[in-house]
Every structure is written in structure tokens, then in C-alpha cells.
Amino acid sequence: MAETIVPMTMDDIEPCIELYIDVFNSEPWNERWTYSTTKERLTDFIHTPKYLGYLLYEENQLIGLVAGNGKKTDVGVTFYLAELCISNRIQGKGYGTILLRHLEKELKNKDIHSLYLLTAHGGVAETFYRKNGYEVHRDRMVLKKSLV
């Protein structure tokens, strides 16, 4: 693997949109992202306070991205991992772990000692994160209320 990891900026938005749509509109997510909704989502990430994002390239081809933002807590800053996606054609080959490890190293360098994320129960995403040392927080749960 001859990969390169670089910070994600607004200059990179177009290839990120294409990657995001390809990944999340496919199995197992089957979501319905459009160009405009994806551009808004990724632009919002980049403009969020304490934003941090990285792109993974292999031989000048964008194959992955990770993005999120820091949030102040009573004991320091924790990081919310909002998105991690790897091109469908190479999932399961270790690239997600490479990108995740890079993010974790950068967070440690910024004196951020924890991160959290939301994902669905079961399935490939949960399996991936558990394989990488993540666990369900025993004191937290996700609550939702529909407003429609």
C-alpha cells in the first residue's frame, strides 16, 4: 500500500462528494445522498469549530476520508468522529484502520484523550470499530425523538 494522508479542506470538496455518495448510497447503508445534500454536509463539517478531517489517497486516487470535531468538556476536549468512509472497492483491506490510526495519532498530538462516535447496532461498521478497540460506553445511550 502506497498511501498518503493529507488534511481535508474546502479545496478537496468535489472528490469527497463523489466518494461519499458512492459509499453511502451503496450496501449496506443504502442511503439517498444527492450532490447538493452531500456538499452541504461536508461543507458544514469543514466549517464546524474544532474541525479536523483527513483524506486517504492511494496513487493519487482518493480512497477514504475521516472527519469530525472537538468538543469542550469539563475535563478537556473530546473528539466526535462524524464520518469515516472508504471506497467500496477496497473496503476490508485495512485502509479504514490506517485512516483511523492516523486520526487517533493526530488527536493525541493535540492533547485530545478521547473520541466518540455513533453507529448502528450490528453490521460492518460496529464490527470495524470494535475490531479497532472501540466499545459501547457503559454510562451513555442515544435517545431520539421524531418531530414529524
Q: What is the pLDDT of residues 4-32, one digit of tens each?
A: 999 999 999 999 999 999 999 999 899 99
Residue 41 lies in a domain: yes
Over residues 108-137, the mean pLDDT reads: 86
The model's pTM: 0.88
In a domain, 50, yes or no: yes
By the 8 A CB rule, do 68 and 53 touch? Answer: yes
- Whether 141 is in a domain gets the answer no
pLDDT in tens, 95-109: 999 999 999 999 999
The pLDDT confidence band at residue 129, using thresholds 50, 70 and 90, is confident
Q: Note whether residue 75 is domain-resident.
A: yes
Name the domain count of the chain: 1
Q: Is residue 139 part of a domain?
A: no
The rounded distance, in Å, linking the Cα atoms of 94 and 48 is 28
Q: What is the CATH number of the domain that holds 94?
A: 3.40.630.30
Do the domain assignments include residue 147? no
For 41-77, how does the pLDDT look when each residue is reduced to its tens digit (9 = 90+)?
999 999 999 999 999 999 999 999 999 999 999 989 9
Tell whether 144 is covered by a domain: no
Question: Domain for residue 23, yes or no?
Answer: yes
Please give the residue range of the domain that contains residue 111. Answer: 3-131
